[in-house]
Amino acid sequence: MLKIEGLVLAVVDPDTGQETEILHGNSFSLAQGEALGLVGESGSGKSMTLRCVLGIEPAGARVEGSIELDGTELLASSGETLRRIRANDLALIAQNPHGALNPVLPVRRFLVEGMSDARSTGRAEAEARAADLLRQVGIADTERVLASYPHQLSGGMLQRVVIAGAISGEPKLLLADEPTTALDVTTQAEVVAILDEKRREHGLSMIFVTHDLDLAAAVCDRLAVMRDGEILEIGTPEEIRDHAKTEYTRKLMAARPLLYPAGHEQPPAAALTTEERRAES
């Protein structure tokens, strides 16, 4: 459903006019319902790749290559088409959930406005659906959360709200950019598990960006390893684990023990494979 070919991104320094190439001609594709992990250390170009898909690359940037979403070439689309695709087909779950919500409106408004048929839905029905969305992401006291302003909720709670909003719009493609990095470790595991479960329930495709190779392996069908704006290798988690082609990938894997909280010998639940999680519950 998504096919990226030879993606080049070059940004221009507004002061010097000097151009720097950030992405060097990357290609990958995503099947319907598939989750692809985009993994690499900080600065490797993961977020910039997502920004190119969203059409929100830095001002003045040069983008070349092809980004095709269900047959539509995004790089050749007009502003109007792109706006429509961004609103209907793509949903971004970013590192900081505060950015997704208007700080002066209660959560209720965020969820109701996100509903595609909000205008034809009665108020009571929209309320009930918003509450139902929250229950789906594991929030029990829906009344309190719906009435809360973003600053009154924890990051973990807010990220659940963002996931609920993303899922409710039934997008084609979820773009998750380090969606749990800003959360504490216990909450991280819960939020990743919820994201994973909801995505599968709704059969959505996802690009999951993270520096945590194990986490990506737990929730993705395939992994693309990035370094310095280049995709070094793409494979299933098993292929990457057992037959890593580069020293860089092996180093990312070796970083694993550092990723567990001190005192925890087990990986957090979200870092287990789906089968392991099932076996545990």
Which option in ligand ADP, Mg ion, none does residue 164 bind, with CB closer than 5 to 8 A by kind? Answer: none
Which option in Mg ion, ligand ADP, none does residue 40 bind, with CB closer than 5 to 8 A by kind? Answer: ligand ADP
* Cα distance between residue 11 and residue 18, in whole Å: 8
Nearest to 221 by CA among 201, 207, 242: 207
Q: What is the nearest approach in angstroms of Mg ion to the Cβ of residue 42?
A: 7
What is the footprint of ligand ADP within residues 55-114 (CB under 6 A)? Answer: 58
Q: What is the nearest approach in angstroms of ligand ADP to the Cβ of residue 183?
A: 17
Asked whether position 22 contacts ligand ADP by CB under 6 A, the answer is: yes
Which option in Mg ion, ligand ADP, none does residue 22 bind, with CB closer than 5 to 8 A by kind? Answer: ligand ADP
Asked whether position 37 contacts ligand ADP by CB under 6 A, the answer is: no
Beta carbons within 8 Å of 120's beta carbon, 6+ residues apart: none
Beta carbons within 8 Å of 35's beta carbon, 6+ residues apart: 199, 205, 206, 207, 208, 219, 220, 221, 222
Asked whether position 42 contacts ligand ADP by CB under 6 A, the answer is: yes
Q: Which of 26, 44, 188, 249 binds ligand ADP (CB under 6 A)?
A: 44
Asked whether position 40 contacts ligand ADP by CB under 6 A, the answer is: yes
Q: What is the nearest approach in angstroms of ligand ADP to the Cβ of residue 94?
A: 11
Residue with tokens 């598939």: 34
Q: Which of 47, 121, 148, 236 binds Mg ion (CB under 5 A)?
A: 47
Q: Which of 37, 45, 55, 156 binds ligand ADP (CB under 6 A)?
A: 45
Contacts of the segment 8-16: beta carbons below 8 A, 24+ positions apart? 8/62, 8/63, 8/64, 8/65, 9/45, 9/48, 9/52, 9/57, 9/61, 9/62, 9/63, 9/229, 10/61, 10/62, 11/57, 11/58, 11/60, 11/61, 12/60, 12/61, 12/62, 14/59, 14/60
- Of 47 and 136, CB closest to ligand ADP: 47
Query: If 0-12 CB within 10 Å is exposed, 13-18 middle and 19+ buried, where does residue 14 land?
Result: exposed
Give kind and range of the element (H or E) at residue 27: strand 19-30
- Of 58 and 261, CB closest to ligand ADP: 58
Q: What is the nearest approach in angstroms of Mg ion to the Cβ of residue 50?
A: 8
By the 8 A CB rule, do 176 and 206 touch?
yes
- Of 95 and 159, CB closest to ligand ADP: 95
- Of 207 and 272, CB closest to ligand ADP: 207
Q: Which residues bind ligand ADP (CB under 6 A)?
A: 11, 22, 40, 42-48, 58
Q: Which residues bind Mg ion (CB under 5 A)?
A: 47
